[in-house]
Amino acid sequence: MEIKVTLPHHSYLLQIQAGLLEQCGDWVKSLWAPQRIVIVTDENVQKLYGQKVLESVNAAGFEASLAVVPAGETSKNLAVAEELYEAFLTAGLTRSDGVIALGGGVIGDLAGFVASTYLRGLHFLQIPTTLLAQVDSSIGGKTAVNLKQGKNMVGTFSQPDGVLIDPLTLNTLEPRRVREGIAEIVKSAAIADLGLWNLLASFKDETELLEHAETVIAACCEVKRKVVEEDELDTGNRLKLNFGHTIGHGLEQVAGYGVCTHGEAVAIGMIQMNQVAEMKGLTAAGTTEKLKQMLQKFHLPIEWTPWEPEKLMAAMVHDKKASGDTVRIIQLKDIGEATIVKIPLSELGEYVNKV
């Protein structure tokens, strides 16, 4: 299955099919001329797929090497980015060479950021191996690293030359990582795709969802394609993808990166944001309960202990959706339809307090 992302200055294809990883060298050859390549991955993914991808890319006529970083959100920082710059130098990368991100969202964000800033930009490809990355972070060109003050505070917009999505990589994910991706799938359905929501509602659990992974992934990619094409630089409709993320990013930071995963934080953020909006009469009655039932069916959390409103607010004021004394939040009109609302920053506290 192919989905084309069409942008004014750069278009690319998402390839979605079981077994594609086995042919990744041919895929790279179809997109790039012979060149040096650094494949950025983490220690966990390297053990599973690193050598296979390296050999496939080299067999296709490239001069490729691996750069391996520790697994987890804590690697998404400027210190690890600097280590990758040095690895690129050691590999002799020039502006005509490329980088492949092989892994989850952390690797995609980190490798994309380093690729887009090293020598002012190298060629870049995404091979996402987690559900979260396949349905969300590998698409749309956002790259970033974290600062201690907040998530994704330093980054660029840099579109890849292509994205290869092989649902078979999901078979090696631990259940918590599968659920993390399901949170973003539920978000995509809630904001923009009632048909996807109804499909998710028909599944019994995570196992049944994975049996239909290709269909679900493609539906999420379509949601993201549409908003990215409308708003590449995240100033308008693309902000709808941030439903649950304003509180979610704050929770990730307060709890400690990796303690509460991104998907878990987004699930909790969606519930907290929506139940306050529903209490205010800004969201259709019953949407919070529908969200709760959907998330709990897939064994995702809907609350976090301890809940620390003051610390959350301190983290959230640095969020990229804030502008001056206002912040844009995402509210559901109903399941399948979202809207962007600008509120005073002082009012954000109402959405953090438990109701």
Tell me whether residue 172 is annotated as binding: yes
Is 215 within 8 Å of 247 (Cβ atoms)?
no
Alpha helices in 13-148 (DSSP H): 24-31, 43-45, 51-59, 78-90, 105-117, 131-132
Q: Is 109 annotated as a binding residue?
A: yes
Neighbours of 77 (CB within 10 A): 16
Q: Does the annotation flag 329 for ligand binding?
A: no
What single-letter amino acid sits at 40?
V
Cα(3)–Cα(112) distance, integer angstroms: 20
Any binding-site annotation on 184? yes
- Which CA distances in Å does 333 have to 197, 222, 349? 15, 21, 21
* Residue 262 annotated as binding site: yes
> Annotated binding residue at 170?
yes
Q: Is 245 marked as a binding-site residue?
A: yes
Q: Are residues 313 and 348 in contact, defined by beta-carbon separation less than 8 angstroms?
A: yes
**Which candidate, 208, 189, 185, places its Cα nearest to that of 198?**
189
Per-residue burial over 164-202, b = 16 or more CB atoms within 10 Å of its CB, e = otherwise: bbbbebbeebeeebbbbbbbbbbbbbbbbbeebbebbee
Residue 165: C-alpha distances to residues 99, 128, 322 (Å): 17, 6, 33
Would you say 212 is a known binding-site residue? no
Task: Please state the φ and ψ torsions of residue 144, each to the nearest 5 degrees.
Answer: -175, 160
What values do phi and psi take at 188, rounded to 5?
Answer: -60, -45
Q: How many secondary structure helices (H) and strands (E) does the chain include? A: 15, 12
Q: For residue 327, what are the CA distances in angstroms to 69, 81, 308, 320, 321?
A: 35, 30, 20, 9, 6
Rg of the chain over all Cα atoms, to the nearest angstrom: 20
Residues belonging to the binding site for NAD(+) are 105-109, 129-130, 142, 151, 169-172
Tell me the binding residues.
105-109, 129-130, 142, 151, 169-172, 184, 245, 262
Annotated binding site for Zn(2+): 184, 245, 262
